[in-house]
Amino acid sequence: MKPPYLPLHLLLTLPSPSKTTPITQQNPCPLLHILSARETTAPPGFGSSLTLTNLLLSTFNHSSGTSPPIITAEAITYPALGANDAEYAASVTTGTAAVVKQLSTFNAQCPETVVILHGYSQGGQIIDDALCGVPGEEGTKVGKPLVGRGVQRRVGGVVLMGSPGMISFCDEGDPFCSDGEEEGVHLRYGEVYGREALRFVVGRVLVG
């Protein structure tokens, strides 16, 4: 299923994504900053969120000749565990708090920088929960967003892949965000939708 993201003609050709580790530089402040959250069981770092992260880095920094770079990136630091329901729930709770902390800390350091949030699988859920509120027990109301409105105003775009909430990419057959049994579907979002997500973010940043 493809969500109705904005079609853009602004990028006719896009550079290939870099295979290097994303740059992290917060002083002096960049114009744009990416906070990316990896999927369940991925080792610390960017995990599958690296594909879109590098697409964004290479696009905005491509031939810019600026120092510091126009855009920087950092990974959300959280467990990303999920061997069972209890472990997954604890990981999501910790991860949601990490999103709030890292986003708020960066905003305090660089209040004029536009932040792009990208989450893959469990990483998408913790970003969703931080921005939209944590769901309670079945039949209860969703709590208020954990990220303050002032900080949310500096969020230029949100891309969630393989997450059950918010605007996101979730294909039929995905066993985690849909009713499927094909794990490979869950692992291919960056490859399949990376450039579509890139166009969405560029549209949000340049137009929105």
Residues labelled catalytic: 121, 174, 186
Q: How many helices (H) and strands (E) does the chain have?
A: 6, 5
C-alpha distances (whole Å) from 117 to each of 15, 71, 74, 83, 157 are: 21, 13, 10, 26, 6
Counted residue by residue, the chain has a size of: 208
Residue 35 · residue 115 · CB < 8 Å? yes
Residues forming a β-bridge with 118: 36, 159
DSSP symbols for 11-71: -SS-PPPP-SPPP---SSPPSEEEEEEPPTTPPSS-GGGHHHHHHHHHHHHTT---SS-SE
- The packing angle between helices 122-132 and 85-109, to 10°, is 60
Taking residue 140's Cβ as centre, other Cβ atoms within 10 Å add up to 8
User: Cα separation of 93 and 31, whole Å?
Assistant: 30
